[in-house]
Structure 1
Amino acid sequence: MSTAERAGREIKGAARQAARSRALDAATRVGLACRGVLYALIGAVAVQIGLGDGSQEADKAGAIATVAALPFGAVLLWVMTAGFVALALWQASEAVFGGGKAIERVEAVARAAVYVLVVATLLSMLTSGKSPSDDEKSRDLTGTLLGLPGGPVIVGAIGLGLIALGVYWVRQGITKGFREELDRGRMSPRARTVMDRLGTGGYVARGAIAALAGVLVGQAAITYDPDRAGGIDATLRRFADTPAGPWLLVVVALGLLLFAVYCFGESRWRRT
């Protein structure tokens, strides 16, 4: 073995060891709890929208702005930043060192990217006191992609990917596939039952939102109109425009609240 190969293996081994350290594990669990906070705030605002109060935005940027307005909000935002950085590092390590199936590695990369975007939103709020809404960022990105050669095809593929992700999450909820991510051996029978119910409702709600977001992105690709796309807030508001009316939005929002509580339980029992 050459010196370069030996050095490469040593670096890789050190990186793997750091990814599995107790410090990162603790920070990751804090990050999972912070994710629960964001989903709880988004769900609460979405319930208010369904009941007729549409003055706030039900997305991650809106949730972060709510945290920033709390006493010691800046401290809380720094804690959340550290937690989501840990989540991004954890998922990046899963993609590189996880050794799972190809689809699991792709999912880890996607999660890491989402967590990096949340970190960017948090830092923007900390440094400038504001951050663009998810709807604005989604439309800007869609407009940029539509301007590329073959842009509608790219945007359409993203829309189909979101629909597929939504179907996958709904399936995870119905079949309770999320159980594989939990250390159920450390859970009491009551905790397992509660987490099953929270996970089922939460994953089905997330899947419905992702699938509808994919439909909106697909419409943007077909009509060549980036304004048709949107983030979580625009997608949630579309549920109120269905024949079921605002009550469907309330049901989906309650599902997000269930997922928020699931995240808190996940922070304790997740396999990391």
Structure 2
Amino acid sequence: MNARTLTVPGRARARRAANSSFVEAAARWGFVARGVIYLLVGALALHIAFGGSGRQADRGGALTQLSEQPFSSVLLWALGAGLTGMALWRLSEALFGAAGADGHKARKRLLSAGRCLFYGFVAYSVLAFAAGESSSGSGSSDRQSQDVTARALELPGGRWIVGLAGAGIVAAGAWIAVRAALRKYRKHLKQGGMSRRTRRLIDVTGVAGGVARGVLFAALGVFVLSAALSYEPEKAKGFDDTLRSFAETPAGPWLLVLVAAGLVLFGIFSFAMARVRRV
């Protein structure tokens, strides 16, 4: 019996552990938490589109909105716990492979690792905000983006680093939008027991919401690219300024309305995924 054979049972046990009820519950609660954030950001952006100003349409604005609700502390800690659950689920996929025939491939695992890092950072910022460090979660995404860009531009080859990061964000946005338009999410659904109405809801929210999310990320990447090309970090934008920039296009505020409504739909789509996605 060789070493490779000896490792198979261990890998199988690890995979079963990764698919435990705890990890599944963590993943589903993570989808709910993601849905809450996108629902609030979309609602704030709609408020801006129809003439409101006030709160920023980004994660900081969403957390501030939650902090003003009854039982705000419970809501914020629950949100942070859900996002932590999402990060743990993605970590289990990176370590042991995701569900599906090709879930063990290196490309899928690397993608899960990247998502783990992203949701880990978001979870940390939300939990820090819940613990009373308001600057950790509710700071301006626009200022944060400009500060990071400024520091990166000061590095050797900084313009190339920022430019490649911007191009990567544009590519990621296009990838998100195209996959949503092609309904790639369908292969992750639990097919049994879904009604026609549920399928229709998932398709409407999944396509419209995913495309809007992709457009937002792509536009954000364009601003990062612009900052690199002009060597002006203030041209980088966060979610709030990127969303507001849609209202400055020839389409006027209606483009912002469409994107904002799409983000609300993506929030609803995330709620649906909490119930019907295979984990």
Q: Could you tell me the TM-score, scaled by structure 2's length?
A: 0.90
| Matching residue of 1:227 | 234
C-alpha distance in structure 1 between counterparts of 2:249 and 2:105, whole Å: 38
Counterpart for residue 128 of structure 2? 124
Structure 1 residues 145 and 15: alpha-carbon distance in aligned structure 2, compared to 1, 3 A threshold? farther
Match status 1:240 vs 2:247: yes
Residue 264 of structure 1 pairs with residue 268 of structure 2: no
User: Distance between the aligned counterparts of 2:53 and 2:20, measured in 1?
Assistant: 44
Of the structure 1 ranges 160-169 and 99-108, higher mean CA displacement relative to structure 2 is found in 99-108
Runs of 4+ in 1 over 6 A off after TM superposition: none
Do the aligned partners of 2:247 and 2:254 also contact (CA within 8 Å) in 1?
Answer: yes
Is the CA contact (8 Å cut-off) linking 2:145 and 2:236 kept in structure 1?
yes
Contact map agreement 1:186 1:269 (CA 8 A) in 2: no
**One-letter code of the match for 2:124?**
A
Distance 2:169 2:155 in 1: 20
For residues 63-90 of structure 1, the C-alpha deviation after alignment (integer angstroms, 9 at most, x for no partner) is 1121122111111111111111110011
What is the letter of the counterpart of residue 106 of structure 1?
L
- Deviation string for 1:93-120 (max 9, x for gaps)? 1122114444433322222122112112
Whether the aligned pair in 2 keeps the contact of 1:46 and 1:236 (CA below 8 Å) is: yes
Offset at residue 226 of structure 1 (A): 1.5
Aligned residue for 1:64? 63
Deviation at 1:2, TM superposition (A): 11
2:170–2:222 Cα contact (<8 Å) kept: yes
In structure 1, the residue matched to 2:110 is 106
Pick closer, same or farther for the CA change 1:103–1:236 going to 2, 3 Å: farther
Provide the C-alpha distance between the structure 1 equivalents of 2:75 and 2:17, rounded to a whole number of angstroms.
Answer: 25
Deviation at 1:136, TM superposition (A): 2.2
Distance in structure 1 (CA, Å) of the matches to 2:142 and 2:104: 34
Match of 1:195 in 2: 202
Aligned residues: 270
List gaps (5 residues or longer) in structure 1: none
- Contact in 2 for aligned 1:162/1:210 (Cα 8 Å): yes
Is residue 2:238 matched to residue 1:214?
no
Equivalent in the alignment of 1:255: 262
**Equivalent position of 2:77 in the other structure:** 78
How much is the aligned-residue C-alpha RMSD, in angstroms? 2.2
Amino-acid identity (%): 43
In the other structure, the counterpart of 1:156 is: 163
Amino acid at match of 1:217: V
| Distance in 2 separating the partners of 1:103 and 1:161 | 16
In structure 2, the CA distance between the partners of 1:83 and 1:147, relative to structure 1 (3 Å rule), is same
Code of the residue aligned with 2:228 in structure 1: it is A
The separation in 1 between residues aligned to 2:193 and 2:172, in whole angstroms, is: 29
Q: Say which SS state the counterpart of residue 242 (structure 2) adopts.
A: helix
The 2-side partners of 1:113 and 1:120 are apart by 10
Q: Distance in 2 between matches of 1:72 and 1:221?
A: 43
Counterpart in 1 of 2:100? none
1:65 and 1:125 in contact (8 A); partners too: no
Matches within 5 A, 1:2-41: 10=10, 15-41=14-40
Q: Any conservation in 1 of the 2:18–2:96 contact (CA below 8 Å)?
A: no
Distance 1:102 1:234, change over 3 A: farther
For the 8 Å contact 1:174–1:200, the answer to whether it is kept is: yes
Return the alpha-carbon distance in structure 1 between the equivalents of residues 249 and 214 of structure 2. Answer: 17
Q: Distance in 2 between matches of 1:109 and 1:54?
A: 37
Contact 2:247 2:256 in 1 (8 A): yes
- Paired position in structure 1 for 2:179: 172
Normalised to the residue count of structure 1, the TM-score between the two structures is 0.92
